[in-house]
Amino acid sequence: MRLSPINKKGQEEMAGFILIIIMFIVMGMAFLFLAKPRLETKKDLQAGNLLNSMLESTERGKTVGENIEFCVSNNIQNQECRDTFDGVSSRLNAALSSSGLVLNRTLLGYVFNATSGMTSRLISNGTLMGNSLTAISPKGKAEITLKLYYP
Amino acid sequence: MKKAQMKIQEMAFVLLALVLLAIIGFIFFLKLSQNKLVESATDIKTQTTLSLLEKLANLPELECYCKPSCKANCMDKDKINSLKTMLQTNKNLESLFQGLSSLKVKQIYPPENEIVIYTSRTPSNASSYQTFINLCQYDTGRYTYDCNMAMIIAKGVS
CB contact under 8 A, B147 and A58: yes
Instruction: Show the domain range for B103.
Output: 42-156
End-to-end, the C-alpha distance of chain B in Å comes to 70
**Same-domain pairing of A18 and A45:** no
**Same-domain pairing of A48 and A107:** yes
ipTM above 0.90 for this complex: no
Residue of B nearest to A48 (CA): B132
- Cα–Cα distance list, A73 to A66, A80, A114, B13 (Å): 10, 15, 9, 72
**Same-domain pairing of A25 and A48:** no
CB contact under 8 A, A49 and B132: yes
**Same-domain pairing of A129 and A72:** yes
Query: Does residue B100 sit within a domain?
Result: yes
DSSP state of A129: -
**Same-domain pairing of A95 and A132:** yes
Q: What is the pLDDT of residues B6-37, one digit of tens each?
A: 889 988 998 999 899 899 989 988 988 898 89
CB contact under 8 A, A49 and B25: no
Q: What is the pLDDT of residues B30-87, one digit of tens each?
A: 988 898 899 888 888 878 888 888 888 888 889 998 776 777 889 999 999 999 999 8
* B21 closest CB neighbour out of A27, A90, A94: A27
Q: How many domains does chain B have?
A: 1
Query: Does residue B142 belong to the interface with chain A, where contact is any CB pair within 8 Å?
Result: yes
Query: Does residue B29 sit within a domain?
Result: no
**Same-domain pairing of A31 and A56:** no
B111, containing H or E segment? none
B74, containing H or E segment? strand B74-76
**Same-domain pairing of A67 and A22:** no
Query: Does residue B14 sit within a domain?
Result: no
**Same-domain pairing of A27 and A77:** no
Instruction: Show the domain range for A20.
Output: 1-36
* B50 closest CB neighbour out of A20, A45, A98: A45
CATH code of the domain covering residue A49: 3.30.1140
Closest CA to A133 of B112, B50, B72: B50
CB contact under 8 A, B146 and A58: yes
